[in-house]
Amino acid sequence: MGKSKVLILYESENTRISLEELGLYLLEDYDFDFLSTIDYLKVDYKIYDFIVFDNYNDYIFEYFKEKTDRIIVSVNILKQERPSDYIKRGVENFFLKPYSLKEIRMVLDQLKENFLIKEEAEENRLKFYTLLNNIPYMAWFKNKNSEYMIVNNEFKEHCGKDFETIKGKGDKFVWDDMIGENCRQYDLKVMTERKQLVFDEIIPGKKGYKQFNIYKVPVVDEKNNILGTIGIAKDITDLKNKDVKFDILLENMPFAVFTKNRDGDIIQSNSIFYELTDVSRFSCLSLKEENFLGEEHKESIEIEDEDVIHNKSNISLVRTLKTKIGEKIVEVFKSPIIDVSGEVIGIVCTMRDVTEMKSQEARIKKMAYTDSLTGLANRRGLYNYVESQLIRKYSDVTIMFLDLDNFKSLNDSFGHQHGDKILVEFGEDLQKICRDGFVSRIGGDEFVIIWEGKMNKELAVEVAEKILNHLSGKKRKFNKLSASIGIVTGNTGEETIDKFLTKGDLALYKAKEQGKNQYVFYNRDLDKKRCLNEEIEQDLRNALDKDELELYYQPQYTCSKELVGLEALLRWNNDKYRKIPIVEIINIMEKSTLIDEIGAFIIKTAFSFAKKINENREKKVIVSVNISAVQIMKHNFVRTIKKIITETEVNPSYIGIEITETVLLQNIEENILKIKELKDIGIKISLDDFGTGYSSFSYLVKIPLSNIKIDKSFIWGMKDSEEYRTLVKLCIDTANALNLKVIAEGVETVEDLGLLKSMKVDFIQGYLFSKPLPKHIIEATVLQ
């Protein structure tokens, strides 16, 4: 606050002089003006905070009556004047003569403080009424007799009465006998117990029947005496209606749902929850998760709930639930319930019975990882063993790669049925000879055995010779058979299984080159393939500049041969490497920086082609590109895709991205977010080579997919194997259950097409309808 202005009215000039000499200028918080009483009509008294009468005058006092509380009259005690002589005339404030600077300061400061307090009180009163009338709830103050003394506009609107009618009346009158005595009982409880009370009440009024959440608190004075109650009523009618809708929604969920408070008490659940858990709906027990899951889970449940509440994150897990009819496997998903303030107030949990699904997954996994002929692990099983058992432990390993010599000749001579019996028996014998090792059949007559631990050379030789001697022994079935063996040692923390397989193949082929029926240990001199890879990489660096790279497109059709998509496939027009599979070329690109440049070329070319072919086409065709693990792991992957979309001006709904499960597994959570971001702008997402990964079914519900592509190895296996047909059917049914489209790759025969049609596959890709074709042929024939 600035300086206060003070007007001093005097009759004698001596008064002004004496006051100035007194040192009024020392009172720095005040500005003083002097005016003769003769000129009092000339002054704008409203600009002054205080007016001092050096001598009292009734006429002048009347003129300034609007500022009675700010007038100070000087009382001359030497002339026996008394304040009481003036109080009856309306005077409230006095200076005593003779004047004292200290007294002047004291009186002015006290008045100033009083006015500030009054102004603040008035301001607070206005704020209170403003707040009261602007909150969207009914609010009121009642005295000790439960009579309304203050109400806000919302209150008046609902009861339909003005304040003059309401003031001093009780609930029975205000609410027209619809409510009354129960409200008085609540008031008495609040005032007696001196604590807040919260309850719900239906109050009929001009706005109809409304349900309110009512909050009442006692009002006490500075001496702690009860003055009455204050109440606030929030209209929760819509909320209650929503609760009813939520209950209906909850009850119609196809799986068990329940909600818990922060203390772990279950406060809401649906019928399926009771059916799944065998808990009685009418149980009076304060139910917690451990009551139906088992007390042994109590600690883990508390840790899970703390994780959900503290991190405000979702968690999913699988548990075994014991019921009257046996054990069930349930998938549990927990999410925080967050209020508008951002605080977690509880947890919502879903439980889904996945017993049958898990059984199917186990059967499918066994089929996927097991060789259907010998019962040994297949190539996928070998990879799974290395990934799950060895890589994390950075294990030393000894690996034997074995290929039966002349097996084709035996098949040709005696037939495939005889050859199959040979493979089955040899597999059984191999397990006995290599009983400490993991035995797998990764191809027709190819076997791989892994021992954890680095076997010394003498022992490895002993095992290899046992195998060779067994084949050349007395068993007539093995006549004309021998084996070539490659032996590799290493550490799974330093090399991948693919690297071991490459080294093993080099040693194995060296054994064959040297006449078969022998074993060869891998050494660096055999690493000619590595040298070739380096040569390929060098030539690839110049391939774009030489215009040697182009895209072929393999059409994708419905079973009735209606075109729906094109898969972009890289081709390298270089005679020097024409016999090398493009997959190996791409692997070399991924291991160098070439994948960035060539990958961008592939994506940009495919997107441009997608824009061009769909410009005047009624039924749009999706052009898909394959994305490698190296590409998606780049921090700018999504930004790069969006940039190319902008540059090519292609509609994102015309393009697709194909990924494999192994692409995601390296950093699954981050990569799923990237894939979701692309799908959200309209790009179709396909999971390629479905079934060849390690846990495809587990990730189907997490990955934001548009469709899945069943690997061609499964399609090729259908013709001769009932197991493969079952596996393909399970894949299709599972995908359909999750509303995913299914593309079958590698369809080459009419028989394959017929089987897939009967299984209700959505789309077909393979040589039966079309091989990959260059752009100009696609435009000239396929798109016509």
Catalytically active residues, by annotation: 445
Respond yes or no on whether the N-terminal peptide bond of residue 254 is cis (omega within 30° of 0). Answer: no
| Type of residue found at 650 | V
Interhelix angle for 594-614 vs 528-543, to 10°?
50
Burial profile 38-51: b = 16 or more Cβ within 10 angstroms, e = fewer:
eebeebebeebbbb
At residue 92, what are phi and psi to the nearest 5 degrees? Answer: -115, -25
Q: Position of tokens 């009967």?
A: 758
Contact 95, 75 (CB under 8 A): yes
At residue 659, what are phi and psi to the nearest 5 degrees? Answer: -125, 160
DSSP 651: -
761: left (phi over 0), alpha (psi -120 to 50) or beta: beta
Contact 745, 765 (CB under 8 A): yes
Q: What SS3 string covers 111-158?
A: HHHHHHHHHHHHHHHHHHHHHHHHCCCEEEEEECCCCEEEECHHHHHH
Q: How many CB atoms lie within 10 A of CB 414?
A: 14
Please, which residues have CB within 8 angstroms of residue 389's CB and are 6 or more apart in sequence?
395, 452
Contact 378, 371 (CB under 8 A): yes
Q: What SS3 string covers 193-216?
A: HCCCEEEEEEEEECCEEEEEEEEE
Contact 229, 189 (CB under 8 A): no
Of 441, 463, 321, the C-alpha closest to 379 is: 441
- Transcribe 570-614 into DSSP letters: EEE--GGGTTS-HHHHHHHHHTSTHHHHHHHHHHHHHHHHHHHHH
Question: What DSSP element (H or E) covers 384?
Answer: helix 379-385
DSSP 370: B
Contact 288, 264 (CB under 8 A): yes
Q: How many CB atoms lie within 10 A of CB 482?
A: 18
Please, which residues have CB within 8 angstroms of residue 581's CB and are 6 or more apart in sequence?
none
Q: How far is CA 772 from CA 364, 555, 760, in A?
A: 31, 7, 24
DSSP 47: G
d(CA 155, CA 87): 44
Contact 353, 328 (CB under 8 A): yes
Q: What SS3 string covers 9-43?
A: EECCHHHHHHHHHHCHHHCCCEEEEEEEHHHHHHC
Question: What DSSP element (H or E) covers 345?
Answer: strand 344-353
